[in-house]
Structure 1
């Protein structure tokens, strides 16, 4: 495998024919060859590897080629996980076809998605039979009719291929659900889209997943304790691309959560007293209907009181610190509903005509029981080494989410992933601090894993100028800082005639400066795009790429994962150094844990995290050898503080101007 990879990424690579099969023109890059060989050696040895591969290295092919050859060698399929479904689909539709044409071997690749992405033909037929009576609105019934026509032509049965966005209650009534499947006993088993997709996963050499699915699968297998269960079949190796997002994504999916919306949704599907509608509406189930009605009333009262309690608090997440501080009025009523739903499901199970309804009731009972237990665990803070908090969401912030996540997810990843004996490849453009991976590896539980930091193929000395603004007030003194920052923004936006990302760490600061600069941008004819004002993120990026000279104001999601090559982006302005908000419950808990063991939370957590985010922001500018432009930092701490050098030393050497 090693010799084959060395040839494939050589100067005479088959990739020179990539444009003939829909790929990009090939350019030999020693860094790409180095990475591919390192990945191959670690896979062969059954060892893990962490690779920082800067933009332009070609890391996707550098891990795909050895992963494919490793799987073909009989080691089992390789899971490749990215952060987003869109990147998943890019791998499947663009990169895999190129390699299939040029690698000289036959292999199969399949896209892994959660079961709720697929329509269930049995449930769809059942909904079509009850028609509009189940939904109570003509628009909902019309969508159901559209779905019925769609399943006659779709090859996948997947939500992403539907062509329109169905209303939530419609899709929830017809999608595949865990615990609500007849498997081989289903009359639609041979036509089942989910089973067809699962079969493709079983036969694939390369399984393309996203981090949410991968870590949800890992959590399910942890709960089972045997490695069984979950969505993904047994695999022989894992590649985690966009690995800088692994810690937070794993923490979210290896923790627990319950919420007002999920609980009410389950209860409504069982029975709605005001509409006399739901799975329990027909039949001799008066006690069950009464139990659901009482539980729904208890939920309304409980969540109304929680919302009133949260109302005077800050808009951000609110930490929960005292077990039992909120009395759990819901446990008893919810348990009665779970028992009632289970009893009705069992009574229907022996009747072939009622088997589908029995499964629906069983699945809802399981979902409700999971929510009940998670709510109890949250309110009593039953899980040690976790941090607990509330979040409000939904229309007018009326819904409440209860979340508990591990303070240090590295411990769980070490046990469940890195000590399982299979090779794990971690890669991203920004993982190292001053050329070392120690901090990142410690955060994700991968201490001792071999690391490789590649250099960039770009010439930053000639392509980038870093402007460090001096003399501005401290950014923590907002009333003094914002007017001065606005003046500097005008100066630097004129410098490049727009074509700028202006990156913020605070929505409030972004909105204030956007309002201050709106007239200026209009006068200068810089189209101004502000995150959260009108367009969704994807449409903002389309408009920015299309309208040369635009100025985009964005927060966290624009610091990373955004690719705008060419003249559309020639200026990246960081208004503040990207330190995490210290009062977010997870950030606070991680810092407290460090202080408790005698460490220094600023140098061991806050500073390294800010440096990594700074590197990600810096990396938005140069996406190709022909790009050029400026990076501007308006935070005086970059030049005035003792730790400012750590930021500068963590980005590629370039021309620096102090102003």
Structure 2
């Protein structure tokens, strides 16, 4: 049998024979490294720049190890869009490179994303019965993107329909008549045994949480051997999202709905046991208790003064001046009463349901229906208990965490967020399975210290691979001369923001004219973006599109279709957006995206660092901004033939000491200009500009 390295070499030899192949020596080096890591259970950190082909480089060693030793590898990326790209585009190509190394059916692959991204056949039957047949006939994975491609209709109408037919966060499981055809459960079963699993970061976190609470220590993804985290720079955010807790009116309403579904699912068994009336009363009592909690939360909302921090740990951080300034004003005891009531009601209901099933089991005798009822109740009660447990921790946070009250519209919302990820991630992820963190922008200042410190990950091997692109020839850096744009901090402090917006509009207008459109302007706030747009004055031949509050994907596609258009966009376009070729000739980073400590988690994090004697700006705010600036600049050169200009419009990059540090994190070989027309001429974009 071939060795793993031999299989990888053979795969790349076949890849080189394919039409359109572009040789990338570091792609094979990365693949070999990952092959060694999987074999030796090595924990690695690798920065693999855009264009290197890290998706294929990850899949090839995973498949090679599956063939050679049956090892199971999970490959997780940040978004569902990227996971689907792995599954639909990269995986078929990677498998074709090994087509004579295994028999059909021997090597198993699986795709798994979050439950609510799958269509629920039971919900389709209830809400749109005429769609059952086309979905069954055409859907392969049963996920939202397939649903939208199968069912015709306007985007808004499809969104409303999807909300009705998407899988709920918890369901009856095997008691559902569609269980054996359920897309979500079929995906889960395949993922538990597959040699190569494609998923997202959120599922990795959920899998670890399930494994932590399971008696056998097994999660949703089964007993896999190795984890590859692609787009690992985004993994901390996925972890924060997965480990947060929220108690709101809609969340309590969801508990009421789940209880109603559980009541319906077990009613036939209650009737068999002659216990229908008691079962109805139990579920009705829980509903009344939850409705009382909703009313109490509304009353608390009306009495609430200033939203803010309720409590946090470590306790000494509560004495920090900024924490005191951002503490909630009024009604803290009322918030505690709501949380305690939710915990009390959920725990009492869960115990009573378990007792009912035990009674019914004794009255009807062991049967398959009792077994299914116990399994269904376990699904529902686990979700209910998790909310009750989360509510119990709101005023007794563990680790480094902050509990606070915010607003969801007019209503209060109680939340708890982790502000220290290192220890939780060590327990959940890093100490559980060997892994590699992979990203085009994982390092800051040429090392992985910031990622290690904030996530708790420890690596046996670290590598920063060179970019395959010629930035010296294909890219230029444009920074306007001092004085052209006011300092945004001073403008905000002195109330002269309109003058700042006007100056930015003038500068962006000149950029867009010089490049003939083709400009992606990345903003840090919607207020700033809309303020600049008010002052932009461009001819109709150079349209400017604006990212709305919804439909980011749609506006991105429209931008790529109109070669002379420009796009003003926010956070979701700083990373993951791909517009290769003539569509994009200039990326303008309007302002350094410093995290402003306004929200309670941000205030608490900086206060905690200062309590430890750390420099919060140098240790967190600045490294995070450097990473985001690298991500934003990375939107420009996506293919070897791409060329263009990176424009940095924040005057503080010239006036503040940190400016040189941020610029040093961008490709150093780029030539720098302070005249946009010189930059356009040098890079060779003159022929693309409009004659206006």
Q: 2:418 matched to 1:418?
A: no
**Counterpart in 1 of 2:211?**
221
Q: 2:418 aligns with which of 402, 406, 411?
A: 406
Alignment map for 1:245-394 (pairs within 5 Å): 245-268=234-257, 270=259, 283-285=276-278, 287-288=281-282, 290-308=284-302, 324=333, 326-329=335-338, 330-331=341-342, 332-335=344-347, 337-338=349-350, 363-378=379-394, 380-393=395-408
1:144 Cα offset (Å) = 4.2
**Superposed counterparts of 1:158-557, under 5 Å:** 158=143, 160-162=145-147, 163-164=150-151, 165=158, 167=161, 170-171=164-165, 177=170, 180-182=172-174, 191=181, 193-224=183-214, 227-228=217-218, 230-268=219-257, 270=259, 283-285=276-278, 287-288=281-282, 290-308=284-302, 324=333, 326-329=335-338, 330-331=341-342, 332-335=344-347, 337-338=349-350, 363-378=379-394, 380-393=395-408, 397=409, 401-420=413-432, 422-469=433-480, 470-471=482-483, 472-476=485-489, 477-478=491-492, 479=496, 480-517=499-536, 520-521=537-538, 523-532=539-548, 536-557=551-572
Where in structure 2 are there 5+ consecutive unaligned residues? 152-157, 309-322, 676-692
Mapping 1:16-165, distance limit 5 Å: 16-19=16-19, 25-74=20-69, 76-104=71-99, 105-106=101-102, 107-117=107-117, 141-144=126-129, 146-147=131-132, 150-151=135-136, 154=139, 156-158=141-143, 160-162=145-147, 163-164=150-151, 165=158
Aligned-partner Cα distance in 2 for 1:320–1:383: 19
1:4 pairs, out of 6, 22, 29, with 6
Instruction: Tell me, in whole angstroms, the C-alpha distance in 2 between the residues paired with 1:144 and 1:304.
Output: 37
CA contact (8 A) 1:271 1:279 kept: no
How many angstroms does 1:77 deviate by?
A: 0.7
| Conserved 8 A contact 1:270-1:278 | no
> Greater helix share, 1 or 2?
2
Instruction: Quote the residue 1:134 is aligned against.
Output: none
Extract unaligned runs of 5+ from structure 1: 20-24, 129-140
CA distance in 2, matches of 1:277, 1:65: 48
Question: For the structure 1 residues 213 and 45, does the alpha-carbon distance in structure 2 shift closer, same or farther, using more than 3 Å as the test?
Answer: same
The DSSP-based 3-state class of the residue aligned with 2:298 is helix
Q: Does structure 2 retain, via aligned residues, the 8 Å contact 1:120–1:176? A: no
Task: Tell which deviates more after alignment, 296-305 or 35-44.
Answer: 296-305
Superposed CA RMSD in Å reads 3.5
Count the aligned residue pairs: 618
8 Å contact kept, 2:305–2:328:
no
Offset at residue 629 of structure 1 (A): 1.3
Whether the 8 Å contact between 1:386 and 1:405 is mirrored in structure 2 is yes
Q: Secondary structure at the match of 2:18?
A: helix
For residues 381 and 646 of structure 1, what CA distance do their matches in structure 2 show? Answer: 40
SS at match of 2:580: coil
- Measure, in 2, the Cα distance between the counterparts of 1:279 and 1:6: 53
1:77-113 per-residue CA deviation (whole Å, 9 max, x = no partner) reads: 1000011112212112111111222234333321123
Distance 1:524 1:289 in 2: 62
| 1:606 to 1:536, Cα distance in 2 relative to 1, 3 A | same
Give, in whole Å, the separation in 2 of the partners of 1:321 and 1:563.
42
CA deviation profile, 1:353-391 (whole Å, cap 9, x unmatched): 98678876664444333222212211x133231122345
